[in-house]
Each structure stands twice: as C-alpha cells, then as structure tokens.
Structure 1
Amino acid sequence: MTDKHTGRCFCGSVEVEVSGAPEAMGYCHCSSCRSWSAGPVNAFTLWQPQNVQVTKGAEHVGRFMKNPTSGRQFCKKCGGHIMTDHPTFGLVDVYAATIPSLPFTPGVHVNYTETVLRMKDGLPKMKDFPAELGGSGEALPE
C-alpha cells in the first residue's frame, strides 16, 4: 500500500490527502450514518487527524454538526460528502468511497443493533462501539 492517497468530493473541487495507515476500517450501521450516506450502511476509514489534510478547495468545505460526536464535512459546491471529524474518538472518518485508491479492508461492523441490512461476512458485529472508543465493547451474533 502506498503511503499517501488522494480523494475528492463528487465534483472534484475539494481534495483530501490521507497518509500512513488508517487506524481502522469497517461499516457503520447507525441511523445517522445511514441517513447521511443515503444508503443502508456506511463504509468508514478512521485516521489520526494529523494524517488527514485538505489539499485543495478548503474554502468549499462546509460543516454540519448534528451532535458533539460527529462533525460532518461536505463540498458546498456539489454536496459531496468528504469526511467526519469524531472529536470524542480523536479520529477522522474519511469515507471509503472518497479515497478509491485505498484498498478497503474492513475489520468490524459498529452500531449493528441499528442495522437494516444484515451482512454475513465473518467480521465482528459490535452492539455499538469497541470499549476503547467509549462503547460497550459487546459483540453480537452474525
């Protein structure tokens, strides 16, 4: 895997670069992520904030904070979703689809109690979040 990957919003006005390796990759099934992504599940890649940088179009980045745990960022020109800052985790979620050159290798499902799309893939299914991120750490059956 290369050390850096560049992603873009839908129209290409905003570019983001990630470097190093993500802390985790997986799927979120919570209702907020489903609504924001307009899909039954959201694929995430979590990064240390210092490893995520907007390299083009910072003036076009809009922000929406529905709650204190998720500061969602999008392109104000096209509405394309870019990333979510998770201050309580100390991590940034750059949506997997935003950085297509990064090989997506999910390791976990989070908030699986809220799922609307059962996925039988052998990955751990967490009730909410891992304990180290403030969740219960409880795993659910596939």
Structure 2
Amino acid sequence: MGETHKGACFCGAVEIEATGAPALMGYCHCEDCRKWSAGPVNAFTLWAPDSVKVTKGEDSILTYAKTDRSLRKSCTKCGGHIMSAHPGMGMTDVYASTIPSLKFEPAFHVFYAETVLKIVDGLPKFRDMPKDAGGSGETVPE
C-alpha cells in the first residue's frame, strides 16, 4: 500500500491523504497553472485517483473547470488550492506544497515553451507534454 502523506488547504478546513507514491512529479509552466497558482511555475505530483482521498471538509471543496482537461479544487473558506482532477489523463494532481511530507523529486518540466521563469536544473524541458502523456514529446533548451 505504501506511505500515506497527509495534507490540507491553507486554513485546514479540507484535509486529504495521498497513499503510495505519485506516478510522476514535475513542474508545469502553462499559463493556466501560472494564473491558478499565482506563481511563475506549479509543482505537480500526479497520482492514481484512488490513491487520493479527502478525509475532512468534502463539503468545503469548490471545483472549477475552465476546460474539461482540469477540474481544479480549492477550499471555499480560505481559497487555498488543494488538487486538480485530470480526467483525460486518468490522474489527480496534488500540488506538491499541499503534502509537505512527500519528498518532491521532479522528473521534468512541461509546457516550458510558455515559461516566464527560466530554470536551469538539467531536467528535460518539454515544449508541451511528453509523448506518452499526449504531447508532442519535443524538448526545448533550458
């Protein structure tokens, strides 16, 4: 089953658990993630949906869908971001900062062609997404 990581929104009204290990970890530079996170980059951890459970405050979760690719979930009390469901990928993105006990080990950057913050870390930088995630698989220089 694996280790269980507990997390919460900014005020603690919503609590979650993510069990096992994420399938992927990385950084997203797309405009939607930047606007949603109010930062230049979003640190993501992708999990199988059945590995992530809301343990408190289900009734305090607001779901917003700008597109059908991402169902972004936040707390109705504090506005704190919790996670996003990605139905097309069959994955749930729990923002790395939501589960502080998880050792964040990013494997790559996605949508780096849209970046507003150059990061030189030696990780692959995908123009959009890796091929096996439905993208072009093209990389761009750091």
Range of TM-score over shorter length? over 0.9
Equivalent in the alignment of 1:104: 104
Equivalent in the alignment of 2:55: 55
Equivalent in the alignment of 1:66: 66
**Distance (whole Å) between structure 1 residues aligned to residue 136 and residue 7 of structure 2:** 33
TM-score (norm 2): 0.98
**Distance (whole Å) between structure 2 residues aligned to residue 141 and residue 75 of structure 1:** 37
Deviations 1:45-99 (A, max 9, x none): 0000010000000000110000010000000011000000001111000000000
Equivalent in the alignment of 1:131: 131
User: How much does 1:120 deviate?
Assistant: 0.3
1:6 aligns with 2:10: no
Aligned length: 141
**Distance (whole Å) between structure 1 residues aligned to residue 16 and residue 65 of structure 2:** 20
TM-score (norm 1): 0.98
- Please, which runs of 5 or more residues in structure 1 have no aligned partner? none
The root-mean-square deviation of aligned C-alpha atoms, in Å, is 0.7
**Distance (whole Å) between structure 1 residues aligned to residue 40 and residue 141 of structure 2:** 19
| Partner SS state of residue 97, structure 2 | helix
Equivalent in the alignment of 1:38: 38
Equivalent in the alignment of 2:86: 86
Equivalent in the alignment of 2:29: 29
Deviations 1:107-130 (A, max 9, x none): 110000000000000000001011
- Please, which runs of 5 or more residues in structure 2 have no aligned partner? none
